[in-house]
Chains A and B, each alone.
Chain A
Amino acid sequence: GPLRAQDLGPQPLELKEAFKLFQIQFNRSYLSPEEHAHRLDIFAHNLAQAQRLQEEDLGTAEFGVTPFSDLTEEEFGQLYGYRRAAGGVPSMGREIRSEEPEES
């Protein structure tokens, strides 16, 4: 089921603090307490997701709080992706056969 802020373990206050800092840093405010709670849940979920990305990464990247930490993956995809291409762009094959960059 969905990960909720209160399920995250013994430091819910730290989570709320982190969320408050996020709101200040990225100038976020929410219209209602319900919306605030909903965004806090998403924020918590994203922290867990960042942890997973951190574990998967084989380079030197760091993942964590970003300007998009209060958005779900779906919301983010709708706002910032390139939906027409989702699921793969049309098959292009290998259109360029030349070794020389100046030949199209």
Chain B
Amino acid sequence: VPFSCDWRKVAGAISPIKDQKNCNCCWAMAAAGNIETLWRISFWDFVDVSVQELLDCSRCGDGCQGGFVWDAFITVLNNSGLASEKDYPFQGKVRAHRCHPKKYQKVAWIQDFIMLQNNEHRIAQYLATYGPITVTINMKPLRLYRKGVIKATPTTCDPQLVDHSVLLVGFGSVKSEEGIWAETVSSQSQPQPPHPTPYWILKNSWGAQWGEKGYFRLHRGSNTCGITKFPLTARVQKPDMKPRVSCPP
């Protein structure tokens, strides 16, 4: 596992930040973001797929009332792919009778999808090797989040109550204030190594005005807010095929 990895640094690898507006469709936005990124880094094909098609053709009723990432992937498999966002644009509401999977040309499709191990080391390894994945977290601290690395405990952010799906796009470490302080202050007594704060970089779907230009960071290594509960990703190539580009540090 590399020390850091940020797929945002590959020009065009990550599609623009989405805004789910008044529709509980984080599950579809996360799945779409996953497929878009994998197509971009695997085939250098800069597609934006239709979230609205995922909602209209959802297997589980009103997709604006919530849903699951695995249902989005099953919809993609059942419909043999997805149309483009341009052809089938996001409306922010479900129109189930408007599910027309054959009406528009498919711009992206998937081979299958998998759930990774509930292990942050394995998740980092997969992310760095194969590309961004979706995760489902407890969104409690996100509503009033502005910037920085969120580090919660199971008491302050229950890792079992996951209710929001997002796209994991990278990881890294930042030297914490305490680390800098320890390094400086302790120089006369006992030298102590700085205390880096490892973090995940996640792409949200609440618009670019929220958080760090639409992204946020969660502490890595403590299962903060249940990040390891449902790590899912589509696969757009054969399992042994790696993307054309590697994750920049």
- Where the two chains meet, the residues of A that have a C-beta atom closer than 8 Å to any C-beta of B are 26, 46, 49-50, 53, 56-69, 71, 73, 76-89, 92, 94-96, 99, 101-104
Which residues does chain A contribute within 8 Å of B139, judged by CB atoms?
80-81
Return chain B residues, CB-CB under 8 Å to A81: 24, 26, 66, 139, 163-164
Q: Is the CB of B144 within 8 A of A80?
A: no
Instruction: Determine if B114 and A46 form an interchain contact, defined as CB atoms under 8 angstroms apart.
Output: no
CB of B230 within 8 A of CB of A92, answer yes
Which of A60, A67, A69 is B174 in contact with, Cβ under 8 Å? A60
The answer to whether B143 and A88 touch across the interface, beta carbons within 8 angstroms, is: no
Which secondary structure dominates chain A's binding surface? loop
Q: Are A82 and B66 in contact, with the CB atoms below 8 A?
A: yes
**CB pair B143 A76 closer than 8 Å:** yes
A61 to B177, CA, bound (A): 12
Q: Is the CB of A66 within 8 A of B143?
A: yes
B150 in the interface (beta carbon within 8 A): yes
* B209 engages A67 (CB within 8 Å): yes
A67 touching B65, Cβ below 8 Å = no
B197 in contact with A60 (CB, 8 Å): yes
Q: How distant is B158 from chain A, measured CB to nearest CB, in Å?
A: 9
The interface stretch among B3-11, B79-87, B100-108, B115-123 is B115-123
